[in-house]
Amino acid sequence: MDKTTLLAFLLLLTNNAYSQQYVNSTKSSAKKSFIKYADKKNFKTITKETDSTLAFLVRDPTVQTLDILLHFDTQGKCDRELTSLSCDSCYHKILSCTLSNKYYRWTKVDGNTYYARFPYRLVLTTKPDTPFSFLIQRSTLSGYEYRRIITNALSK
């Protein structure tokens, strides 16, 4: 399998993740989505599950490594999604594709933090301490604070 096919798979998987938005989804719906796309491509994958987490790992020798780790709150809704890749170019393409999604209208607020438009209240953080990784999580800020941060970033 060539890198173009791998990139297409990763973009399809990751774009589906962000169009469905794992944050706020249930563990069962996230798991169904993972399995659906992995089965289409016949990749060797591993799914690990605990009470509060779900990990989807692509470990096929023909493609780059991809990890999507989801954390679930006490109500069973996903509150954090960590995406990690092993390929620099794949990471940058997926991050760029995610940030260019007009639905969420991500706003850069500092060197490695982005906020989605207000109703979604999502924060994307690139992980400088973890190469080729980024985290999307539900914001815990009040609506006023969240909007103020976006407004300040846009006025700079």
Q: What is the structure's pLDDT at 2?
A: 53
Q: What is the structure's pLDDT at 21?
A: 65
Length of the chain: 156
Q: Which of 34, 39, 40 is nearest to 67 (CA)?
A: 34
Half-sphere exposure of 102 (CA within 13 A, CB side): 0
DSSP per position, 128-140: TTSTTEEEEEE--
- Residue-wise pLDDT tens digits, 97-145: 999 999 999 999 999 999 999 999 999 999 878 889 999 999 999 999 9
Domain ranges of the chain: 3-155
Q: Show Cβ contacts of residue 149 under 8 Å, excluding neighbours closer than 6 positions.
A: 109, 115, 141
In sequence order, what are the beta bridge partners of 48?
55
- Residue-wise pLDDT tens digits, 3-57: 544 444 454 454 444 434 689 999 999 999 888 877 777 778 889 999 999 999 9
Alpha helices in 1-131 (DSSP H): 3-20, 27-41, 88-99
Q: How many CB atoms lie within 10 A of CB 139?
A: 18
Q: Which of 23, 33, 56, 43 is nearest to 138 (CA)?
A: 23
The pTM of the full predicted model, rounded to 2 decimals, is 0.83
